[in-house]
Amino acid sequence: MDDKSKQKILCVLYEDSGKYPPEYSRETIPVLPHYPDGQTMPSPRSIDFTPGHLLGSVSGELGLRRFVTDLGHELIVTSDKDGPGSKFERELPSADIVISQPFWPAYLTAERIARSPNLKLAITAGIGSDHVDLQSAIDANITVCEVTWCNSISVAEHAVMQMLALVRDYIPQYQWVVKGGWNIADAVSRSYDIEGMNVGVVAAGRIGLAVLKRMKPFDVKLHYFDRHRLAPAVEEELGLTFHENVESLVSVCDVVSIHCPLHPETEHMFNDELISKMKRGSYIVNTARGKICDRDAIVRALESGHLAGYAGDVWFPQPAPNDHPWRAMPNHAMTPHTSGTSLSAQARYAAGVREILECWFDGRPIRDEYLIVQGGGLAGAGAHSYTEGNVTAGSADASRYKNRSG
């Protein structure tokens, strides 16, 4: 392979655990035949990893090392992504391909794209490409892809878990056990049944619809808002109430679960004004993107008691600075963006990344479902879900995070 055909792949993954590889609690994971709508699973020619192993951290390398290097390409893997002296900043100007994850995003801002003349492909190992300035990618004719469906059910399961954790006030109850107490009155003083409540989702795409399906057996009243209305048969089967706008939905729901992508139309959607239209004592679960909610408006609503709880695992920026107010706000049940990177999901998004790379190196078309930007415009799944523009402003604050574990 000559130098002209050799490509430099810059892969940004989250930090390793204290022990890599870890001791796995299960030897296998279920093999799924297809996604719920019939879409086939990622289908690379082969894989060089064990499904169920930790692939999303630096040492896991998404199982790509042998595949990439055997083809004569260069693979650089790092977790050092933020700040002007980061390895990502140093290596990006000569990179042809960037791979990143929503959980530890390498923000491809307009400035970074302008300094990267070789960059032709940006792959999201997961779902959600808002860490890329899509407008700049369009203008620079960069192809942007993500592995659609790979962790949708993973996120839906996490959202349902967090709904129940909030309404039943699980975390304080667990903490009483850890403290050695048996303080039942304290433990249940904010605990309710979700049965009979009004539960709504903002956006009923793959994740939102999966949440609605999983919540139906809890005997709740289900609502949704989406710019693409579901088929009448689906609404009837699940007993759904459709709302023409998000204001209508939040005014009647006790629990609101957010599942829309982040783009200029949804940035800071949940601000003081919208939250004021919610019932006093309602709950928000946000497993979509942190920037869909106004950071300080959420804190104010929790401190005033207007919101009874807030849960989710998405922040802005990511990783969240150590002094991010969501870490210390009352009545929250936050996680560090883990919903879509379970060991089960990692096997799917690693295989999907390899499938995309195989297509790219072979000059074959990439699945339409994986495309976000191509040919100077929104394409595939991107044309359905995103609007043109940029939502990466403020991402530089991720450099203020310092790992304090251990």
- Closest C-alpha to 56, from 336, 312, 322, 288: 336
What spatial distance separates the first Cα and last Cα of the chain, rounded to whole Å?
A: 45
- Give phi and psi for 119, each to the nearest 5: -70, 120
Burial of 236 (0-12, 13-18, 19+ CB in 10 A): exposed
141 is catalytic: no
Query: At CA 391, angle to CA 301 and CA 93, rounded to 5?
Result: 140
346 is catalytic: no
Q: Which of 7, 101, 135, 151 is catalytic?
A: 151
Sheet holding 221-225, edge to edge: 240-243, 221-225, 198-202, 255-258, 282-286, 307-312, 332-334
Q: Distance of alpha carbon 241 from its chain centroid, rounded?
A: 26
Q: Which of 318, 331, 346, 374 is catalytic?
A: 318
DSSP code at position 31: P
User: Cα torsion at 190, 153, 224, 368 (round to 10°)?
Assistant: 150
Q: Which of 206, 263, 289, 332 is catalytic?
A: 289
Q: What does each C-alpha distance from 194 to 215, 216, 245 come to in angstroms?
A: 10, 11, 24
190 is catalytic: no
289 is catalytic: yes
Q: Which of 223, 263, 324, 337 is catalytic?
A: 337
Q: What does each C-alpha distance from 396 to 33, 250, 292 come to in angstroms?
A: 41, 32, 18
Q: Which residues are catalytic?
A: 151, 289, 318, 337
